[in-house]
Structure 1
Amino acid sequence: MNPSVEDLIRERVYSCHNCRNQISRHDDIISKGFQSVKGRAFLFYEAKNVREGAEENKMLITGNYKVRDLYCNECGQLLGWKYIKAYNVTQKYKEGKVVLEKFKITPASS
């Protein structure tokens, strides 16, 4: 069966696994090779419909960062974090980007 024109133009997105609030676009994925304490995670250019927590310094797998936790603005679920500052020059590319934990998001179509 051939897909309809409507299916072809439908945008692939990721939503909060808890409430299905749209969080990010599939096209905004930079890497699927990230790791969080609880499992796999994806690095995105940006996230929408999220609330940022307070800035804090965290030691992560690849070094020390200033980050903000990201919460779904619909249900309050912790989804991941946003890199504010990377202290290691080789990790500067992460600044301003977001990491969403794979088990906290679900693929969907807009």
Structure 2
Amino acid sequence: MGEVVGPRLYCCYKCRNHVSLHDDIISKAFQGRHGRAFLFSHAMNIVVGVKEDRHLMTGLHTVADISCADCNEVLGWKYERAYEASQKYKEGKFIFEKSKIVKENW
């Protein structure tokens, strides 16, 4: 028997806390504050911050920063509300900055 391989995960780059599953990636074509970012359908072991309206490249959205539940590093944001019909698919989804997450079990 080989070693047991778990699901492919993304972790906080600082403390290696598991924050999302590879299978939950919706898109890798997003832009974060610090470069490339990924859109995920789910996140785990995170803390959702205060909601605020932000003007992003795709229009006005209500977002909340998401932080690692262990080390409090801000990893991205959660889309709480999209004001334009074409952006509604983002509601309830999570953006992780590519530079703030690392792969595990790949």
TM interval, shorter chain, is over 0.9
The corresponding residue for 1:24 is 20
Superposed CA deviations along residues 61-85 of structure 1, whole A, max 9, x for unmatched, are: 1110001100001000000000000
The corresponding residue for 2:54 is 58
State whether structure 2 residue 81 is matched by structure 1 residue 108: no
Percent of aligned pairs sharing the same letter: 48
Tell me the number of residue pairs that the alignment of Structure 1 and Structure 2 aligns.
Answer: 106
Inter-partner Cα distance in structure 1 for 2:74 and 2:14:
10
> What one-letter code is carried by the residue in structure 1 that aligns with 2:65?
D
Inter-partner Cα distance in structure 2 for 1:5 and 1:19:
24
Inter-partner Cα distance in structure 1 for 2:57 and 2:32:
8
Cα displacement (A) at 1:5: 5.7
TM-score, normalised with respect to structure 1: 0.92
1:64-83 aligned at under 5 Å gives the runs 64-83=60-79
> What one-letter code is carried by the residue in structure 2 that aligns with 1:58?
R
Larger Rg: 1
TM-score, normalised with respect to structure 2: 0.95
The corresponding residue for 1:98 is 94
**Partner of 1:75: helix, strand, or coil?**
coil
Structure 2 gaps of 5+ residues are none
Structure 1 gaps of 5+ residues are none
RMSD, matched Cα? 1.5
**Partner of 2:4: helix, strand, or coil?**
helix
